[in-house]
Amino acid sequence: MEMVGHNTLVVLLGATALGLAAGMVGCFMVLRRRALVSDALSHATLPGIVTAFLTGLALGIDGRSLPLLLAGAAISGVIAVLTIQAIKRWTRLTEDAAIGAVLSVFFGAGVVLLSVVQELPAANAAGLKGFIFGQTAAMRSGEAMGLGALALVAAALIWLFFKEFRLLAFDEGFARAAGWPTGRIDLALMALVTLVTVVGLQTVGLVLIIALLITPAATARFWTDDLAAMLIIAGGVGAVSGGVGALLSSRFADLPAGAIIVLVATSLFFISLIIAPSRGLLGRSLRRARLRRALLARGITG
C-alpha cells in the first residue's frame, strides 16, 4: 500500500471525527424516536444555505464564506424543527405528517432557490451543490480540525450530562415530575444534533447526514443492552464508517465520499443484524431451534 498523502489524511481524520460525533449523538435521536426529525432538520438546511449565499452576495461578501453558509443552514434547520413542534402542538396532525410536510416544503424551496441562483450571471454558485451530496475531497485542514472539535464537544457534553440525557430519553414524564428542566435538556440535545448536521453538511451532504446519525446507533443497539456501551459502539461504528468511507472515496476519485461513508455504515449494520449474538437474526433463530429441539426431546409436542 502506498503512503497516504497529506490531503487524504486530513479528509480521513475529519470524516472519522464527524462519524464519532454523529454516532454518539444519533443514539439519543434513535432512542427518543427523533430519527425523522433529524432528517427534516438536515433537508431543511438547503434554503438556509442558498439564502445565506444570496445575502452574502447582496452585502458584497464572498457568498461562499463557510461560516455564513453554515449559519444560514443552522437557522433554517432550526426553523423547520420549531415548525414541526408548532404543528404538533397546535393542530391535530400527527408528528409524521408534520415532518413530511415540513421536510418537503423546506427542501423544495431550497431546490427552487438553488436553481434561481444558478441562473444569476453574477453569482458563482458552483460550490453550493456540494452541500447536497457532500464533497469530502475538498476538505481543508481547518475544516478537519473543526470536525475534531465537534467530536470533542459532543463526547464531553454526553459524558457530563449522561444521566440527564438518559433520563430524558427513557422517561420524560418522570423527569418533569421530578423537577428536571426537560425543555432545556431537550434543547441541549437538539443543539448537538443541529451542530453535527450543519458541520457535517460539507462532508456527507444534507441528503445523507441522517444515515450517519441513525445507522451507527441502530447498529450499536444489536450488540448491547447498556446505553453507555451503545454510545461507545455507535461512536466507533460512525468513526470507522467515516474513516473507511473517506479513504475509499479518495482511492477511487469519482466516488462521492458521503455515499461511500453511508454504505460502509450500512454494511456494518447488516453484518450486525445477522451475527450479533443476542439480538441478531442468526442468534435468535439458533436459540429458537435449540428450544424447539429441547421441547421435542421432552415430548412436549403440543
Partner 1 sequence: MLQRLLSDNFIPSADAGVGALAVSGLSVAYHQRLVLRDITWTAPAHGLVAIVGPNGAGKSTFLKAVLGLVPALTGNIEIYGRPLKRQRALIGYVPQRESVDWDFPVSALDVVTMGRYGLIGWGRRITGKHRAAAMQALDRVGMADLAHRQIGQLSGGQQQRVFLARALAQEARLYFMDEPLAGVDAATEQTILAVLRELDAEGRTVICVHHDLQTVAETFDHVLMLNGELVAAGPVYEALTEDNLRRAYGQRASGLRLGPR
Residue 270 as a binder of partner 1 (CB under 8 A): the answer is no
Give me the least distance between CB of 35 and partner 1, in Å please. 14
CA-to-CA distance for 41 and 38, rounded, in angstroms? 5
Residue 167 as a binder of partner 1 (CB under 8 A): the answer is yes
Three cell numbers, residue 157:
457534553
CA-to-CA distance for 101 and 113, rounded, in angstroms? 18
Binding mask 91-110 for partner 1 (x = CB under 8 A): -x------------------
The nearer residue to partner 1, 172 or 266, going by C-beta atoms, is 172
The nearer residue to partner 1, 179 or 299, going by C-beta atoms, is 179
CA-to-CA distance for 183 and 89, rounded, in angstroms? 14
Residue 225 as a binder of partner 1 (CB under 8 A): the answer is yes
Residue 281 as a binder of partner 1 (CB under 8 A): the answer is no
Return the range that interacts with partner 1 (CB under 8 A); candidates 49-57, 60-68, 104-112, 222-230.
222-230
Q: What does R_g of the chain's alpha carbons equal in angstroms?
A: 21
CA-to-CA distance for 150 and 17, rounded, in angstroms? 8
Residue 180 as a binder of partner 1 (CB under 8 A): the answer is yes
CA-to-CA distance for 278 and 301, rounded, in angstroms? 26
Residue 161 as a binder of partner 1 (CB under 8 A): the answer is yes
SS (H, E, C) 38-58: HHHHHHCHHHHHHHHHHHHHH
CA-to-CA distance for 135 and 45, rounded, in angstroms? 16
Residue 287 as a binder of partner 1 (CB under 8 A): the answer is no
Give me the least distance between CB of 230 and partner 1, in Å please. 5
Which parts of this chain interact with partner 1 (CB under 8 A)? 31, 33, 92, 160-161, 163-164, 166-167, 169-171, 173-174, 176-180, 221, 224-227, 229-230
